[in-house]
Chains A and B, each alone.
Chain A
Amino acid sequence: MQPERFVNRGALGAVALLALGCPEPQLQQGDGSVDMSLSVADVVGVPNLDDDNADGDPDWTDRDKDGDDDLSSFSFVDGTFPSLRDGGVVTVTLEGDVEQIRIRSGDDILLGEDDGEVKSALELRADPGELTVEFGDYLAAGTLTVTHHRRNGTTAHTLTATLLASPLIVNHHDMTATRVWAVDGLFGGANAALIEGYEDALGDRFAGARARDYDNDPWMQDEVEYASVSGPDGLAMEIVIDSIRDRGLASFATREIVGADAARGVWGRGEASSQDSFGNLETTPPVTVDGVHYPYGRVYYGYPGELVGPDDWWIGRVHQDLRDFLDDQTIQDPFEADVGWLCVGHVDEYISWIPDPDAPKGFWMLIADTVSAYDILESMDPSTRLPRYSANDGHGYATVGQILNDAGLRRENEEIQEERLDAAVALFGRELGLNEEDIIRVPDLFEPVPGYGGCHAAMIPGMVNLIVANFGEGDDHLFMADPFVRSSLGDQREDPFIAHMHEILPPQYELHFLDDWSVYHAGLGEVHCGTNVQREPAGDWWNTAAPLLEGVVR
């Protein structure tokens, strides 16, 4: 008997091969191998949310698919339909998220969502030619059941093939950087030093968004969070999670990023709290916790915790819609960290990550540390003058000694260390299976912001709030704030905090200490807050993250 089967012909990573004429239906790869490497589903693709034809609408909403490269194609192999000439028929049914899946033949939608209607069954008496699978949402999952009915009505074979769209995978620092963004020309060029620092180090891998186009909004980190979806055979799409904060940079994603192979999504609506900004949404590098491997790390974000001070009008939790969505993506298993003690209230104010193959777990967790900051200050001549700290936009300290003699400041930082930072070490240790050997402590002091009711911000510009621009092949950079703990502002070699950072950070990175004082530090942010990084899309999650997706489709 002639075997009847269908195989993928394009972007399909998994190939469902239906051997209607064989004693047992089986699945196999496109190369004929029966060794199915995709344990998560038989057919994997990406949600078709970008705008390949540049018509301004997500491609999922377009009937015409000309130029669309985000569909997975397959077809019945030669010889399948001749066997139906005896009067048999093949029925194909689609179950699951049928509103978010389409089985197409050319422009015809055979199964799934079609202009608001749902087709869930199809009868074939002839070869339909090449078919495509299109997904409309993240983790859209379905089951395609193909049944060969003999002429006499009996069933010859039934085969089910599972379909699954990529989850949204939030970028982490261990993904290769492709482009670094900051807003250029802020307040008439007040951030020129930071921009020049990026341009000098990165050349055309740095992109400046024009400040006048974005109402001088410095906080590039806060408006968007980069993520991706991916599938076999090179299917990949950048996804911008667009914040509901919607300040000056609200249109950034649409103007600069969205298009072919790049889409945006917004989760939540209404009045945003500070926690809805994406300095408050970060992802760890890949990590294994209690035997569970998270190949794309774990998402984390801040929650108010124990609020400090009465000025909490802007404090909230990350919007429920976004939290629910991130939970639903499953493979990055989000958790929350306390940011209630910070005026801005973002996790990037005190924690970051640096990939390092020589580290015990392949990365370092960086956390702000007040103890080492005081150690360094106490090692300095107390008469050391601090021009930046005594300036009109400074912190009211003329010398190192004045900082050291501020008993209230020391008491504040001791409490922050014990109750917030050490608690964060414990939390991240539990959630990520980390211990002391995985941590680099970055010296910093926090200060109650005058008149803000007792909440805190970095007093020494927060170096932990850094940018990892790892382009690979020895071209890896760390950008962070110049701490300016020195008399001679133009000589970074004189700064003991910078010297300390050179000692504790991995040597393969080129370190850049940018002057972010007048725009970012004075605006209660630092280098990371004013920058964002695009990265290469996630890899083969359908293989590496399969254990985390058990039950999603199969």
Chain B
Amino acid sequence: MKRLLLVVALLLLPSSASADAFADLDSAYAAGLDAHPELFAAVAVAQPRTTRAGTLRFYADAHMLDPAATPAIAHRLVHGDDSDDVRRALAERLLRVDSSWDGLRLRLLTTDTSDAVRAMMVASLRTMAPAPAREGLEAALGDKSSRVRREAVAVVARRPDAADLVPLLIPALADAAPDVRLQAVRSLDAVAPAEVLALPAFGALLHDPDPRVVKATRRALE
């Protein structure tokens, strides 16, 4: 069902730079399978390990860290039938891949049914080139999941071109989710010029119902 929804979402999507991402993935997978059959077989059955926090992550696994494994990891993420926790771990392995995977990451960011996977794809925007990163951030800031929106607001402040992205953060100050508002205050505090912090929308958060938001706003205005 999850995959079906994904396909439906793909059909409804407007064309973009990432429009052919899944076709590109299938091509890359086919080519990689020919070149690295053992590696791809290993990726297909690899299981994430439990981190100290109790969450799942692919670490200390040479196969999963091999750059040549990226098509297999992405293919398993898109076409596999893993649990949400495993899919998030698979998505995490796409954080550090090269820019040839930007299109796929943007497609997953906008279409995957798991907000954990979408949030992970948002995290990958931190090191992405400005144009695709902006495309991804604009999409993520409108995501229905506050988890995804919060990640997007956080990523903006982590980018080298953060100052150029400040306008994207202003609407997040009024987000319905307190975690998003909190992160918006923190990110603007990190990268925004003083005049932005002087905006009424920012100062209004001194009266936010969430005390964490009030605290962060007060700290930013000090």
User: Which residues of A come within 8 Å of B, CB atoms?
Assistant: 186-187, 190-191, 216, 218-219, 222, 247, 274, 277, 279, 306, 309-311, 314, 343-346, 391-394, 396, 402, 405-412, 415, 418, 448, 450-454, 457, 518-519, 522-525, 529
Name, among A191, A344, A529, the residue most crowded by chain B CB atoms within 10 Å (CB to CB): A344
Task: State in angstroms the CA–CA spacing of A311 and B146 once bound together.
Answer: 12
Q: Contact at B160–A524, with CB atoms within 8 Å?
A: no
At the interface with chain A, which of B4-12, B100-108, B116-124, B194-202? B116-124
Q: Which of the listed residues B91, B120, B123, B156 has the most CB atoms from chain A within 10 Å of its own CB?
A: B123
CB distance from B121 to the nearest CB of A (A): 9
Contact B96 A392 (CB under 8 A): yes
Cβ–Cβ contact B53 & A345, under 8 A: yes
The answer to whether A274 and B54 touch across the interface, beta carbons within 8 angstroms, is: yes
Q: Say yes or no: A522 contacts B96, CB within 8 Å.
A: no
Which B residues are in CB contact (< 8 Å) with A394?
Answer: 96
Which B80-100 residues have C-beta < 8 A from chain A? 88, 91-92, 95-96
Name B65's closest neighbour in chain A (CB-CB): A392
Supplied contacts A190-B60, A274-B53, A412-B190, 9 more A-B pairs, CB within 8 Å: A222-B52, A392-B65, A394-B96, A406-B158, A407-B162, A412-B186, A418-B219, A448-B154, A522-B57
Chain A residues with CB under 8 A of B159: 408
Greatest chain B CB density within 10 A among A218, A219, A306, A450 is at A450
Given the interface contacts A344-B52, A454-B183, does A523 sit within 8 Å of B158 by beta carbon?
no
Sample (13) of A-B pairs whose CB atoms are under 8 Å apart: A187-B61, A306-B212, A343-B55, A408-B187, A411-B157, A415-B219, A451-B91, A453-B150, A454-B154, A454-B179, A523-B51, A524-B51, A525-B52
Most B Cβ at <10 Å: residue of A346, A402, A522: A522
Residue of A nearest to B91 (CB): A451
Number of interface residues of B (CB under 8 A): 48
Q: Are B52 and A408 in contact (CB under 8 A)?
A: no
The interface residues of chain B lying within 8 Å CB-to-CB of A408 are 154-159, 162, 186-187, 190-191
CB <8 Å contact, B162 and A450: no
Q: Does B16 contact A (CB under 8 A)?
A: no
Q: Which of B60, B123, B187, B216 is close to A450, meaning CB atoms less than 8 Å apart?
A: B123
Does B37 sit at the interface, judged by CB under 8 A?
no
Task: Give CA–CA (A522, B212) in the complex, Å.
Answer: 30
Per the bound structure, the CA–CA distance linking A517 and B121 in Å amounts to 24
Chain B residues within an 8 Å CB radius of A187: 49, 60-61
Within 8 A of A (CB), among B140-194: 146-147, 150-151, 154-160, 162, 179, 183, 186-187, 189-191
Residues from chain B with Cβ under 8 Å of A411 in the complex: 157, 186-187, 189-191
Q: How far is B59's CA from A525's CA once the two chains are assembled, in angstroms?
A: 12
The reply to whether B179 and A524 contact each other, CB–CB distance below 8 Å, is no
How many angstroms between the C-alpha atoms of A314 and B55 in the bound complex?
A: 9
* Complex A-B, nearest 6 residue pairs according to Cβ-Cβ distance, in ascending order: A408-B157, A411-B190, A450-B123, A522-B59, A408-B158, A525-B52
A529-B52 in contact given A415-B186, A454-B183 (Cβ < 8 Å): yes
Residues of B within 8 A of A391 (CB): 65, 96
Q: Inside 8 A of A457's CB, which chain B residues have their CB?
A: 53
Q: Is the Cβ of B179 less than 8 Å from the Cβ of A523?
A: no
Q: Is B127 at the interface (CB under 8 A from chain A)? A: yes
Partner of A309, one of B91, B179, B189: B179
Shortest CB distance B68–A (Å): 11
In B21-65, the 8 Å CB interface with A consists of 49-55, 57, 59-61, 65
- Chain A residues in 8 Å Cβ range of B55: 311, 314, 343, 452
Q: Which has the most chain B C-beta neighbours within 10 Å: A191, A216, A407?
A: A407
Cα A407 to Cα B146 with chains together (Å): 23
| Contact across chains for B65 and A393 when beta carbons are under 8 A apart | yes
Measured between beta carbons, the chain A residues less than 8 angstroms from B126 are 396, 450
Q: B190 CB to closest chain A CB, in angstroms?
A: 3
| Distance between A369 CB and nearest chain B CB, rounded to angstroms | 20
Q: A461 → chain B, closest Cβ, in Å?
A: 13
Closest to A449 in B: B53
Chain B residues lying within 8 Å of A410, measured Cβ to Cβ, are: 190
A186 / chain B contacts, CB cutoff of 8 Å: 60
Report B101 CB to chain A, min CB distance, Å.
Answer: 13
Q: Could you say which of A409, A454, A524 contacts B52, with CB atoms under 8 Å apart?
A: A524
- Once A187-B49, A523-B49 are accepted as A-B contacts, the answer to whether A310 and B179 lie under 8 Å apart by CB is yes
- Which residue of chain A has its CB nearest to the CB of B124? A450
Bound complex: CA A132 to CA B179 (Å)? 63
Chain A residue at minimum C-beta to C-beta distance from B117: A451
Instruction: Assess the A453–B52 pair: CB atoms within 8 A.
Output: no
B96 touches A310 (CB 8 A): no
Q: Find out whether the CB atom of B190 lies under 8 angstroms from the CB atom of A407.
A: yes
Q: Please, which residue of chain A has its CB at the minimum distance from the CB of B158?
A: A408
Known A187-B49, A408-B154, A415-B186: A450·B92 in contact at CB below 8 Å:
yes
A454 to B186, CA, bound (A): 11
Which residues on the B side are within 8 Å of A392 (C-beta)?
65-67, 96
Closest to B160 in A: A405
Taken together as a complex, chains A and B put the C-alpha atoms of A529 and B191 apart, in Å, by 35
Check A450–B59 contact: CB distance below 8 A.
no
Which residue of A is nearest B123, CB measured?
A: A450
Contact of A219 among B52, B67, B179 (CB under 8 A): B52
* Cβ contact within 8 Å between B59 and A451: no
* Neighbouring B residues of A518 by C-beta, 8 Å: 59-60
Which residues from 199 to 213 on chain B have a C-beta closer than 8 Å to any C-beta of chain A?
212
Identity of the chain A residue whose Cβ is nearest the Cβ of B89 in the assembled complex: A451
Q: Which residue of A lies closest to B50 (CB)?
A: A247
A191 to B59, CA, bound (A): 12
CA of A431 to CA of B124, assembled, Å: 42
Contacts of B179 in A (CB 8 A): 309-310, 453-454
In the complex, A392 Cα to B219 Cα: how many Å? 35
> B residues within 8 A CB of A190?
60
Q: In the complex, A457 Cα to B54 Cα: how many Å?
A: 13
Other-chain contact of A519, B50, B59, B156 (Cβ < 8 Å): B59
**Closest Cβ–Cβ distance, residue B173 to chain A (whole Å):** 16
| Most A-side CB within 10 Å, residue of B60, B123, B158 | B60
| Cα–Cα, bound, A448→B162 (Å) | 17
Tell whether, in the assembled complex, residue B95 and residue A343 are in contact, meaning their CB atoms are under 8 Å apart.
no
CB distance from A276 to the nearest CB of B (A): 11
A401 to B135, CA, bound (A): 26
Complex CA gap A186/B60 in Å reads 9
Specify which chain B residues have a CB less than 8 angstroms from the CB of A406 in the assembled complex. Answer: 158, 160
Bound-complex Cα distance A450 to B66 (A)? 20
Q: Measured between alpha carbons, how far is A187 from B124 in the docked complex, in Å? A: 27
Inter-chain contacts of B146 with A (CB < 8 A): 310
Closest to A279 in B: B52
A279: chain B residues at CB < 8 Å are 52
Tell me which of A191, A396, A402 contacts B96 (CB under 8 A): A396
A523 to chain B, nearest CB (A): 5
- Contact yes or no, B186 A451, CB < 8 A: no
Partner of B59, one of A219, A393, A405, A453: A393
Q: In the bound complex, what is the Cα–Cα distance between A402 and B126 (angstroms)?
A: 12
